[in-house]
């Protein structure tokens, strides 16, 4: 499973990139607004830090304007994935960009039917929102399983399942068990993957026992 971080905070991105565990970045208008920075220069900066796909989302909702915005975004760097909404106009843009060799991330997916349409439009990534489905008492993870099953039935589909709206390590692990290709989540959730009380307990015991030897490696 590839690990993307869902943030526009350049410091968080640099910190995770230094671990070697980061495969890409996803952003959206809300994250850009939170950063307080200029959109285009920020995406350029992120692309300089991360070699993998960097999702940059269009702001428009109509076809003509989305297409113009996409032209600007995909010129930032070869590894920019233009992010479009799962709407008729968004999928039209997706089809055209994909045919021209540009990565497209189709976002705001909430059903297997929508995911099927995105794959047929040639999307590089489909972003089903697990956490937001959980928020309305629906089973977000079941959507991941359904999409993976559908895509596996059709070898001609090359769309990667990018699990979005990740709220906990459970979302990541369960999605990985289902065979999802990518997950994107906040840096705070990714860091939670390190945590286990038995790791902390074992390390504390090792440190204490080492002190008793009176030795030093350095």
pLDDT in tens, 156-200: 999 999 999 999 999 999 999 999 999 999 999 999 999 999 999
What confidence tens digit (pLDDT) does each residue in 121-133 have?
A: 999 999 999 999 9
State residue 204's pLDDT score.
Answer: 97
Q: Are 15 and 187 in contact (CB under 8 A)?
A: yes
Q: Are 81 and 53 in contact (CB under 8 A)?
A: yes
- By CB atoms closer than 10 A (0-12, 13-18, 19+), residue 214 is exposed
Catalytic annotation, pick one of 2, 14, 44, 83:
83
C-alpha to C-alpha distance for 153 and 175, rounded to whole angstroms:
18
What confidence tens digit (pLDDT) does each residue in 79-88 have?
A: 999 999 999 9
* Token pair of 124 as six digits: 């590089």
- CB-based contacts of 191, cutoff 8 Å, min separation 6: none
* Token pair of 214 as six digits: 């009176």
Catalytic residue check, 83: yes
C-alpha to C-alpha distance for 125 and 112, rounded to whole angstroms:
14
Nearest to 26 by CA among 88, 105, 85, 100: 105
- Assign 188 to helix, strand or coil: helix
What confidence tens digit (pLDDT) does each residue in 30-57 have?
A: 999 999 999 999 999 999 999 999 999 9
At residue 112, φ and ψ (nearest 5 deg) are: -60, -35
Q: Are 109 and 129 in contact (CB under 8 A)?
A: yes
* Token pair of 112 as six digits: 């297997």
Q: Which domains does the chain have, with CATH numbers?
A: 2-213 (3.20.20.70)
* Percent of the chain clearing pLDDT 90 (strictly above): 100
β-pair type (80-85, 54-57): parallel
Q: What angle do helix axes 140-152 and 112-120 make, rounded to 10 degrees?
A: 40
In this prediction the pTM is 0.95
């Amino acid at each position: 499973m590839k690990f993307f971080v869902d943030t526009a905070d350049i410091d968080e991105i640099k910190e995770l990139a230094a671990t070697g565990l980061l495969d890409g970045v996803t952003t959206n208008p809300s994250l850009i607004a939170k950063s307080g920075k200029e959109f285009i220069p920020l995406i350029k900066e992120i692309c300089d830090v991360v070699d993998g796909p960097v999702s940059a989302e269009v702001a428009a909702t109509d076809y003509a304007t989305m297409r113009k915005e996409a032209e600007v975004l995909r010129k930032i760097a070869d590894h920019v994935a233009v992010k479009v909404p799962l709407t008729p106009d968004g999928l039209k843009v997706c089809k055209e960009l994909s045919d021209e060799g540009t990565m497209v991330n189709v976002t705001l997916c909430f059903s297997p039917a929508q995911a099927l349409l995105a794959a047929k439009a040639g999307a590089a990534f489909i972003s089903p929102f697990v956490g937001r489905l959980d928020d309305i008492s629906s089973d977000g993870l079941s959507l991941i399983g359904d999409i993976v099953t559908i895509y596996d039935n059709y070898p001609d589909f090359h769309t990667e399942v990018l699990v979005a709206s990740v709220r906990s390590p459970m979302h990541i692990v369960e999605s990985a068990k289902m065979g999802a290709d990518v997950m994107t989540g906040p840096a705070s959730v990714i860091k939670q993957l390190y945590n286990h009380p038995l790791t902390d307990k074992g390390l504390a015991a090792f440190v204490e026992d080492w002190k008793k030897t009176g030795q030093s490696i350095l």
